[in-house]
Structure 1
Amino acid sequence: MKLLHWFSLLLCVCVNAESNAMWRESGENVTLRCSSAGCSSSIEGYEGMYLYQNHTEQIEVFYCNTMAGVTEASGFKDRIQTAGSLKNLIVTISNLTVNDSGFYSCVFIKFQSPAVQCSVYPLFVKGVAECSRSTEAPCALADEKSPPLVLIIVAACTIGMLVTIIFILLIVPRVRRRTSSRRSTAGVPQQVSNDNVYEDMTKNGLHPLREQLPASPHDCA
């Protein structure tokens, strides 16, 4: 039952990872929803929220609070539009580039309280690679296909499922057969040969009971 449980859990993770992934072309827009529905705990009374992009490193996209509104990071300047309240914020990122690929997470914060991470969105942008936001050095432009991260996730899930299926179909029945054969062997008592018992009694000067009985009156002298 544990094997089936882990197999089902792995399958669910793979399906969710592939279905939540968003694919865009360079120059397109993407809309994310940061709401309390995707949070693991209550965000009642939280005063602000960060949107982070995680790819090769964690990058702040913007910060939003109830007093100052939205403060965009330099790499996303004039590309962020928000609508709704802090607990149900709809975020649109426009003019996407390849560098915008990554995992976007909504993190709610409150003074002297632990941060709460909510919805996580995998975003993959196809197009031409640009220079890194963290440096002004020139870089070579090259056509970049779909980022391999989602392919790695799908491949890892597929390999895990195949290993689990092979383990269930091949190894588990063998273990059960060996266990049952050992139990059956342990339950059968060992049989002692009558010839061995007779030889042991003869060596010790003993004779079987039928040889030690007195002669019957009806026997011949």
Structure 2
Amino acid sequence: MQLLSCTNHILKINKKSNIRNLQARNYSVVPLSSHLGMIQWVTNATAMFYLYKKWQQRKYAKEFKKNNMIRGPIRKNWPINIQRNAFLELRHETPKDLIAKEFWTSSSSPTVWWEKTNSYSRSLAVMSIIGYIIGLGDRHLDNILIDFDTGEVIHIDYNVCFEKGKKLCVPETVPFRLTQNLQNALGVYGIEGPFRIACENVLSVLRSNKEILMTILEAFIYDPLVDW
């Protein structure tokens, strides 16, 4: 969280990023030992997984009950070709606008929706670039939260950092998560609008202040409480 606070300060003192209100939504973390700590409760935040789960329950719950369907073999034991085919089929079936619809239904007017969408675009850009810089992985649906009141994106669980994700059983090779649901919530401009502008601005500002960031990141090498 110290890195996010420092990044926010750097973005705040830069004229362009300050005008665009480019900030990372963070929270307090107090380590008490190598395996214990306290984390601030993040209010008004919804995990992306909840949106998918809610949609899936509406779509399949009655069908499962009607046909008396039971659990099949554990997924990790499936052959690779079966896993790939299942993924492609599920990707085709899953709506591409779950996040976008949530923004629309939670807005009291088109103006509020527009403000939320712009806030979301900026926030997603900031967190994407920060995640890219620190090699943040493990960005599954439970580790990305969205505040649908403000449009802000909040990342949790920073355990897989510094490209550690490339050493997992299934190596993570993408710099950050930008799947179809995240893209479709960016508004009419998509990735070529405020999102792209914010990404370029954040990356430029942080690159210009790389010495400050490196000072903070080097501390992780000697931090006895962290095992990367």
Q: TM-score range by the shorter chain?
A: under 0.3
Query: Scaled by the length of structure 1, what TM-score is found?
Result: 0.21
Name the structure with the higher strand share: 1
Q: Which has the higher helix share?
A: 2
Which entry has the higher C-alpha Rg, 1 or 2?
1
Whose relative contact order is higher, 1 or 2, with alpha carbons under 8 Å and at least 6 apart?
A: 2
